[in-house]
Structure 1
Amino acid sequence: MKIAFIINDHDTEKPNYTTPGLGYAAYKRGHDVYFIGVGELSYASKGHLSVRCKTISEKKFNSQETYFKAVQKEKFTRITSEDLDVLFLRNNPADEINERDWAQNAAFIFGEIAMRNGVIVLNHPNSLAGAVNKMYFQHFPEILRPKTIISRDHDEIKAFFKKQKQKMILKPLQGSGGTNVFMMDKKNEHNLNQTIDAIARDGYIIAQEYLTEASKGDTRLFLMNGEPLQVDGKYAIMQRVNSSDDIRSNIHAGGRPEAVKMTDKIMKLADIVRPKLVQDGMFLVGIDIVGDKLMEINVFSPGGLNVISEMYDADFCTPVIKAIEKKVYYKNMYSDYLFNSRLATL
């Protein structure tokens, strides 16, 4: 199998991230693995995807860190969609906001080209195009979601603030990783106008009810093919505990990962989101849970799989690669009969 991973940039991708872990798992299973930065995508005159990439072969490594550091030192080579079986879109568009705005939509736009060339593209690029901001989350059943409004109107947001007894979360519609996320209450109400203005510079504002359980952080669970990812009875799940003075629980925003047990409540939430994820061709997804509510669904590049693997002494990356191998097998068996959106979650 020839599999390529799209990342934001070779210089910013760290060797201990989830994507290098997935690449290393594929490499150990004998596959040809390529890494492509968003800026290395192009469209060839013959109508197919053409990219610069980095790859390595015929060497043994003791860890994903040594593997990916070796990949990063390699010179660029070129491949086309005609050479690939699978293209895995693992870049985070939110990381490009105000930095490289042109890069936000590039991966799924070029992913659509690769898909037309017969490459299996994960997650399904057409669905990713509709999920580039947090509005995608609002398409899931209301029972899952905290009370929310999305607006740029000061009066509407202030009215919601009062309705929530002067305690709410404000965050941008576009973005991830805990950037520009604020908890507003009576103590900082005098900064409400200023905070709304600051977030509104980048677009729409999400005003959301504050869940008291959020003080303990949130729970990140990985879903693969719409089902909780597990290995030998161990689930790919962790509690992300925020620091004492920060409401954000994202790991790279100061959150601390801890082991947590799967519960019937979490399983029920996962079951409710499954049908839409399957319908949309969302192969690998991270859902963030607080209490009995979903806070976010990360369909682009959910991170932490490497952390969870180490936490439970279990390899969660290899099952992901095995699932992709099966998709390649199905595609070869059925030729042009299976749409990418369906194949993505089989």
Structure 2
Amino acid sequence: MTATTPYRVAFQMDPMETVQIGGDTTFALALEAQERGATLFEYGPQHLIYDQGRVMAHARPMRVQAKVGDHVTFEPRRLINLADDVDVVWMRQDPPFDMAYITAAHLLERLKGTTLVANDPEWVRSCPEKIVPLDYAHLMPPTMIARDKSAIDAFRAQHGTVIIKPLYGNGGAGIFKITSTDSNYSSLLETFFAMSREPVMVQAFIPEVSAGDKRILIIDGELAGGFNRVPQKGETRSNMHVGGSAQPVDLTPTDIAIAEELGPMLRARGQILVGIDVIAGKLTEINLTSPTGVHELKRFTGVDAAALCWDAIERRLADG
């Protein structure tokens, strides 16, 4: 595999016409690629096809521009072979991390050796965002994954106030703060377990979350920078999907050390763009599926993470 000029990029994503360009990381990646001379395609995971050894997609050639309300134009959708017709595929559709997501990752994994897929789908599939941090338990707050209520009862008795969240959720959905005397606790677990056969994640509550949850971007294993996400008054969740506000922040030596410890693993696993979440020096998530924060990082620090991503991809293409 070698870099071509211009190269061809396919974005597997939610529809580009629906994004808010002022905060959408996929749009920033597409615009940067286009400015480097790339040809762009867009398709959704529902347009992905495996047929007799070929991985294909019904894709729309597109052009983007930084103009609100007129940010993308498309040519008619056509069938492309992702092994022959493009050099890079960005897997950027939003979770949920369900069987449809996992199936798409399995199909894109078959492009290995022909087309560079970012982030590497084999490891995206094998590193769920709340599971892979367990390899670094020493960096995390006290954490339990269980479906056994008696085990969760004991964890709660030990730690008092806890956070309970779905194991494969995203965007802050379904996250609950439960105090040691909360009468809704048993009912909440019953609701979780009635809706899904999955266990839940339970973590000791970190009171410092009121001061913010840091999103730190790691690009091809290297720390790019970070910013703070501060929850609304009276809210525990700091995700911007649920009203958290982005603010500049200085990374602490602990924040930097966490990023540096994770970096080599992420690079070895082909994870070009990763967002980690850190609260009061404790790692809570490693976001591989479609991490965000490129616009905020550039606004607060001047670091152009989209450009750094394409620098990293171009190096990988050149290395074959």
Give the TM-score normalised by structure 2.
Answer: 0.90
Change (3 A) 1:324 1:267: same
Say which of 158, 170, 179 aligns to 1:176: 170
Q: Deviations over 1:126-185 (max 9, x none)?
A: 11111235222212x222111111111111111110100x21110111111111101110
Q: Which residue of 2 aligns with 1:48?
A: 54
Alignment of 1:62-81 (within 5 A): 63=66, 65=68, 69-71=71-73, 73-81=74-82
3-state SS, counterpart of residue 228 of structure 1: strand
Q: Which amino acid aligns with 1:267?
A: I
Q: Which residue of 2 aligns with 1:156?
A: 151
3-state SS, counterpart of residue 314 of structure 2: helix
Q: Which amino acid aligns with 2:184?
A: N
Change (3 A) 1:109 1:207: same
CA distance in 1, matches of 2:112, 2:137: 32
3-state SS, counterpart of residue 317 of structure 1: helix
Match status 1:115 vs 2:121: no
CA distance in 1, matches of 2:282, 2:242: 21
Q: Which residue of 2 aligns with 1:335?
A: none
Alignment of 1:296-311 (within 5 A): 296-311=285-300
Kindly state the Cα deviation for residue 7 of structure 1 after the two structures are TM-superposed.
0.9
Kindly state the Cα deviation for residue 8 of structure 1 after the two structures are TM-superposed.
3.3
C-alpha contact (below 8 Å) 2:129/2:287 kept by paired residues: no
Match status 1:219 vs 2:242: no
CA distance in 2, matches of 1:302, 1:64: 23
Q: Which moved more, 1:300-309 or 1:218-227?
A: 300-309
Q: Which residue of 1 aligns with 2:4?
A: none
Task: Report % sequence identity.
Answer: 27
Change (3 A) 1:112 1:2: same
Kindly state the Cα deviation for residue 254 of structure 1 after the two structures are TM-superposed.
0.9
Q: Which residue of 2 aligns with 1:232?
A: none
Q: Which residue of 1 aligns with 2:244?
A: 255
Q: Which amino acid aligns with 1:42?
A: I
Q: Which moved more, 1:101-110 or 1:167-176?
A: 101-110
Q: Deviations over 1:104-126 (max 9, x none)?
A: 2233122112225x111111111
Unaligned ranges ≥5, structure 1: 230-234, 332-346
Supply the RMSD in Å over aligned alpha carbons. 2.0
CA distance in 2, matches of 1:216, 1:258: 11
Q: Which residue of 1 aligns with 2:3?
A: none
3-state SS, counterpart of residue 134 of structure 1: coil
Change (3 A) 1:35 1:43: same
3-state SS, counterpart of residue 49 of structure 2: strand
C-alpha contact (below 8 Å) 1:133/1:175 kept by paired residues: no
3-state SS, counterpart of residue 76 of structure 2: coil
CA distance in 2, matches of 1:312, 1:64: 23
3-state SS, counterpart of residue 233 of structure 2: coil
Change (3 A) 1:205 1:136: same
Q: Which amino acid aligns with 2:276?
A: I
C-alpha contact (below 8 Å) 2:178/2:185 kept by paired residues: yes
Q: Deviations over 1:199-224 (max 9, x none)?
A: 22222111111112112120001001
Kindly state the Cα deviation for residue 102 of structure 1 after the two structures are TM-superposed.
5.0
CA distance in 1, matches of 2:199, 2:20: 31
Q: Which residue of 2 aligns with 1:205?
A: 200
Which structure's relative contact order is higher, taking Cα pairs within 8 Å and 6+ residues apart?
2
Q: Which amino acid aligns with 1:54?
A: R
Change (3 A) 1:135 1:315: closer
Alignment of 1:129-144 (within 5 A): 129-132=125-128, 134-139=130-135, 141-144=136-139
3-state SS, counterpart of residue 178 of structure 1: coil
Kindly state the Cα deviation for residue 89 of structure 1 after the two structures are TM-superposed.
1.2
Q: Which moved more, 1:256-265 or 1:276-285?
A: 276-285
Q: Which residue of 1 aligns with 2:124?
A: 128
CA distance in 1, matches of 2:243, 2:138: 29
CA distance in 1, matches of 2:222, 2:272: 10
3-state SS, counterpart of residue 190 of structure 1: coil
Q: Deviations over 1:274-319 (max 9, x none)?
A: 2321232222100010111101110111112122223345533122
Alignment of 1:258-277 (within 5 A): 258-277=247-266
C-alpha contact (below 8 Å) 1:6/1:107 kept by paired residues: no
Kindly state the Cα deviation for residue 43 of structure 1 after the two structures are TM-superposed.
1.3
C-alpha contact (below 8 Å) 2:272/2:313 kept by paired residues: no
